[in-house]
């Protein structure tokens, strides 16, 4: 066993025993480092890459094997951790991964609906029925506020400040933020709260409803027809039905499609990126910037309309 192979075995034992990593994590590290071992053996490097340029040779070989950017990114992370271990344990003096930059993960462009598709979706629920009123209220709210599905379904009654035109949402990391809602959305939610929610709540089967959960669940805003909190899975079944009826392709009905549509339509309407960031609850504006590509067509329209040579 050469030196690098011995170091790899020691590192994997360290991850398994001292760091207490799961078997899957250790297996993932092992697979990554096997690539390093194979490449080092092909170069007759008994201790593996010891310089930055040698490490770059290894990473370039991964691209030649057609590995994806996400796989190389994971490999880069494994290498950093591995070399940090070697430095801390006196195996090496210089860290060849210190100058290494991770490849940027390819970010998929968000899918969104057109204005016409969104209007068709909103018109889908039969508002002559209690369930239809609830569904219209939910769809209007998601399009008006741009909240995550999980944020909407976790809303409790005390978070609804409809008289003031907003709700208080609890997002990632239990961070609260204000989500403004328009008058149309407020009207549908108010109708649901007045006419439908009490009806659903009255159908609740208290015998099968755990006492420890009863009070908190009764405070949830959006309920199913049995009076229990509507689940994420339940909502998406509802959405797919309305999407299908509106002739919207199922590939558009992703978990974030309404949120993406909200952000995109705001930017197309002239909203600034920082405001959209605040409305979406993004901690970093770089997360919001992914929506700017969809406004290129709008920008071109403005250019053609207003530029003297447009």
Active site residues: 148, 172, 256, 259, 282, 291
Q: Residue with structure tokens 């909200």?
A: 262
Residue 164, token pair as written in the block: 């003031």
Dmax over CA atoms of the chain, in Å, equals 77
| Residue 286: Cβ within 10 Å count | 10
CA atoms of 204 and 10, how far apart (whole Å): 58
Q: Residue with structure tokens 């490449």?
A: 39
Residue 179, token pair as written in the block: 């989500």
Q: What is the DSSP letter of 223?
A: B
How far is CA 107 from its chain centroid? Answer: 11
Q: Residue with structure tokens 């399009």?
A: 143
Q: Residue with structure tokens 């008289």?
A: 163
Q: What is the DSSP letter of 229?
A: B
How far is CA 267 from its chain centroid? Answer: 20
Residue 113, token pair as written in the block: 């609906």
CA atoms of 216 and 36, how far apart (whole Å): 53
Residue 130, token pair as written in the block: 């209690």
């Amino acid at each position: 066993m050469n030196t690098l192979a011995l170091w790899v075995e020691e590192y994997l034992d360290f991850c398994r025993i001292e760091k207490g990593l799961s078997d899957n994590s250790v297996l993932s590290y092992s697979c990554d480092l096997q690539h390093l071992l194979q490449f080092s053996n092909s170069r007759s490097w008994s201790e593996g890459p010891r310089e930055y340029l040698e490490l770059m040779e290894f990473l370039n070989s991964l691209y030649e094997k057609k590995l994806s950017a996400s796989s190389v990114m994971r490999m880069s992370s494994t290498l950093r951790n591995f070399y940090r271990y070697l430095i801390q344990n006196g195996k090496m003096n210089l860290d060849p991964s210190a100058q290494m930059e991770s490849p940027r993960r390819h970010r998929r462009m968000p899918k969104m609906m057109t204005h016409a598709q969104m209007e068709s979706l909103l018109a889908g629920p039969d508002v002559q029925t209690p369930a239809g009123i609830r569904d219209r209220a939910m769809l209007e709210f998601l399009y008006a506020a741009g909240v995550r599905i999980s944020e909407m379904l976790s809303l409790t009654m005390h978070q609804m400040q409809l008289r003031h035109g907003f709700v208080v949402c609890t997002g990632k990391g239990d961070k609260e933020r204000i989500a403004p809602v328009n008058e149309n959305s407020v009207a549908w939610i108010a109708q649901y709260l007045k006419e439908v929610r009490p009806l659903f709540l009255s159908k609740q089967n208290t015998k099968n409803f755990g006492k420890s959960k009863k009070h908190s669940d009764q405070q949830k805003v959006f309920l199913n027809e049995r009076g229990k909190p509507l689940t994420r899975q339940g909502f998406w079944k509802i959405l797919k039905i309305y999407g299908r009826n509106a002739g919207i392709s199922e590939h558009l009905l992703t978990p974030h499609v309404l949120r993406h549509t909200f952000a995109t339509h705001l930017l197309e309407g002239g909203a600034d990126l920082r405001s959209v960031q605040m409305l979406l609850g993004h901690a970093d504006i770089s997360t919001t910037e992914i929506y700017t590509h969809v406004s290129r067509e709008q920008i071109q329209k403005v250019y053609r309309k207003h530029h003297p040579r447009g």
